[in-house]
């Protein structure tokens, strides 16, 4: 790695100390700027894996210190809603009408259902597990725009009434299919008064297989008892903590459409898959100042003290960028100083947040719990395991190896098939390690895709156990514009005896860059 520090040679400094301060370089040469943006990530790779990976696979310059970007989410898999009320008339819509039960529902019957959902129609921005900014059922902008006459909607039923007011898993036993005849948007009231709902007149197309499955599953929409999933008594935080399994059991989905012979064209709905966001760049500075007496003194072990300290300052600068990209928060202070958004702050605010208690130590987290987390996070509708890189603390890195090691050492089975043997594969295992741009990455197999894991020592001692970052939806954005490149650069001789009259020398390392974060549903944190 010695070649990485040859920038010191321009000032008469080398690692070997063969040149010393006071060499015959002009002041102009000393005040030269050297772009170091593509080389700084080569330093201390094991200490700063996140910045290293970003620099190699997700670097995208910006020409504005406040940069904007557009997110795009498809809508085809978002056509779901929760039944929040039902009845035999629109005026009679209620949570628990006795007439909408299994024993009463027959093909050809007409019923009214009220639907609400938990994602923004503009941008298709959906509910994310554990987010502190979670979208609640019926929030402003969540009205289910996709419901139009002619659509077929599958409504789930469960076998037993739930009389609780908190979230419970719904064991879906059956379903009915209804055809929407009329769809009327509500326009007054508050979230609690179902302002962002659609009231639908529907005809039953398919009834239930058995009358024992008499609990209509929805959001506070029980068929003959109090509630199915949650409702009035559920807090925003409790809703944000619900698992995908719990939510899916209460959702009614579009399952096609149907029209009569000779019928005209149907109504249409238009989605808006685009949303915008913004980020800020941050200016990082690291300087080295040393008086010329010290620079000229030959020291023991490393003769050139300036060269020794300079190497450490380069690594220190990269260390500062790495930690800011992990722990920083997007903010502009009263003096106009801007701060970029770190991974942890962004994900906790908008992404998936899972309980990391017991990962890497004592606590309640089991392998089964962890696999449940992975099934939610790596849902193929929202995320791609191949593009996700997991950064973990040292104790979690060890914990994952212990999990896979236990399975391999104690639970592997070898079966003889004819003249050959076949090894049974288990849910959790270590598939091997590889070098990715200098970062050591270990691959663990799960039923939901491979986990590519890199140890990050900066997470040690923090409340964060693991980060799951989809590298397709984040970018490192150095400021580059109008002929100026504000990526990491070295400014040699910003102060010298020749240009200031002060008997010392100051060199400066400076970076102006920020983080762009998109698609929070594709990122996760365990804490």
Q: How far apart are CA 346 and CA 330, in angstroms?
A: 9
Q: How far apart are CA 299 and CA 301, in angstroms?
A: 7
Residues 6+ positions from 218 with CB-CB distance below 8 Å:
82, 83, 84, 86, 155, 156, 228, 229, 250, 252
**What is the per-residue pLDDT for 21?**
36
**What is the per-residue pLDDT for 507?**
92
DSSP string computed for 452-510: EEEE-GGGTTSS--EEEEEGGGEEEEEBEETTEE-SSEEEEEEE-HHHHS-SEEEEEEE
Pairing of strands 388-392, 451-455: parallel
Q: How confident is the model at residue 212 (pLDDT cuts 50, 70, 90)?
A: low
Instruction: Flag the least confident range among 132-141, 167-176, 247-256.
Output: 167-176
φ/ψ (deg, to 5) at 3: -65, -20
Q: How far apart are CA 87 and CA 26, in angstroms?
A: 88
Q: How far apart are CA 489 and CA 38, in angstroms?
A: 10
pLDDT in tens, 285-317: 999 999 999 999 998 888 999 989 998 999 999
pLDDT in tens, 433-458: 888 888 899 998 888 888 899 999 99
Nearest 10 degrees: Cα torsion 435, 440, 445, 450: -70
**pLDDT at position 207 over 70:** yes
Residue 21, CB-side half-sphere exposure with 13 Å CA sphere: 22
DSSP string computed for 40-63: GGGSSGGG-HHHHHHHHHSB--BS
Q: How far apart are CA 469 and CA 466, in angstroms?
A: 10
**pLDDT at position 155 over 80:** yes
Mean pLDDT, the chain, integer: 81
More confident residue, 379 or 487: 487
pLDDT in tens, 15-72: 333 333 333 333 345 555 667 777 777 777 778 899 999 988 899 999 999 999 988 8
Does residue 114 contact residue 85 with C-beta atoms inside 8 Å?
Answer: yes
φ/ψ (deg, to 5) at 76: -60, -30
Does residue 157 contact residue 171 with C-beta atoms inside 8 Å?
Answer: no
Q: Is the dihedral of CA 319, 322, 326, 329 positive or negative?
A: positive
* Angstrom distances, CA of residue 348 to CA of 104, 324, 354, 512: 46, 16, 10, 25
Does residue 250 contact residue 170 with C-beta atoms inside 8 Å?
Answer: yes
């Amino acid at each position: 790695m010695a070649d990485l520090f040859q920038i010191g040679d321009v000032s008469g400094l080398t690692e070997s100390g063969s040149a010393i301060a006071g060499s015959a370089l002009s002041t102009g040469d000393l005040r030269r700027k050297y772009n170091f943006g593509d080389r700084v990530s080569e330093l201390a790779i094991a200490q700063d894996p996140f910045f290293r990976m970003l620099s190699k696979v997700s670097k995208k310059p910006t020409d504005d210190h406040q940069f904007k970007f557009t997110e795009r989410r498809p809508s085809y898999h978002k056509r779901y809603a929760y039944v929040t009320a039902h009845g035999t008339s629109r005026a009679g819509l209620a949570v628990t009408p006795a007439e909408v039960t299994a024993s009463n529902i027959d093909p050809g019957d007409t019923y009214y259902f009220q639907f609400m959902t938990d994602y923004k129609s503009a941008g298709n921005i959906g509910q994310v597990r554990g987010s502190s900014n979670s979208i609640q059922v019926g929030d402003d902008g969540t009205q289910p725009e996709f419901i139009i006459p002619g659509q077929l909607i599958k409504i789930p039923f469960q076998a037993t009434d739930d009389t609780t007011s908190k979230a419970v898993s719904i064991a879906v036993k059956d379903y009915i299919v209804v055809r929407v005849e009329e769809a009327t948007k509500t326009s007054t009231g508050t979230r609690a008064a179902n302002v962002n709902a659609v009231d639908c007149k529907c005809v039953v197309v398919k009834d239930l297989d058995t009358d024992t499955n008499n609990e209509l599953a929805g959001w506070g929409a029980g068929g003959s008892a109090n509630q199915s999933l949650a409702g009035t008594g559920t807090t925003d935080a409790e809703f944000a903590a619900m698992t995908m399994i719990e939510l899916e059991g209460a959702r009614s989905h579009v399952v096609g459409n149907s029209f009569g012979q000779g019928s005209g064209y149907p109504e249409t709905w238009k989605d808006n898959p685009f949303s915008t966001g913004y980020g800020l760049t941050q200016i990082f500075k690291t300087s080295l100042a040393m008086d010329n007496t010290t620079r000229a003194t030959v020291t023991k072990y490393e003769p050139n003290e300036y060269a020794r300290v300079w190497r450490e300052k380069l690594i220190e600068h990269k260390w500062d960028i790495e930690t800011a990209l992990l722990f920083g928060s997007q903010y502009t202070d009263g003096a106009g100083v801007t701060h970029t958004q770190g991974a942890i702050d962004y994900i906790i605010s908008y992404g998936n947040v899972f309980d990391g208690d017991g990962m890497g130590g004592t606590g309640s987290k089991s392998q089964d719990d962890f696999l449940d987390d992975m099934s939610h996070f790596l849902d193929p509708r929202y995320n791609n395991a191949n593009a996700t890189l997991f950064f973990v603390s040292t104790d979690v890195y060890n914990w994952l190896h212990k999990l896979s090691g236990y399975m391999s050492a104690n639970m592997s089975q070898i079966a003889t098939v004819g003249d050959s043997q076949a090894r049974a594969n288990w849910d959790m295992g270590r598939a091997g390690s590889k070098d990715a741009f200098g970062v050591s990455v270990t691959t663990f197999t799960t039923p939901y895709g491979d986990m590519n894991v890199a140890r990050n020592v900066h997470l040690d001692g923090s409340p964060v156990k693991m980060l799951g970052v989809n590298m397709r939806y984040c970018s490192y954005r150095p400021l580059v514009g109008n002929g100026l490149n504000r990526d990491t650069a070295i400014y040699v001789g910003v102060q010298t005896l020749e240009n200031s009259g002060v008997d010392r020398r100051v060199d400066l390392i400076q970076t102006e860059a920020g983080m762009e974060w998109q698609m929070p549903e594709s990122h996760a944190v365990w804490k």
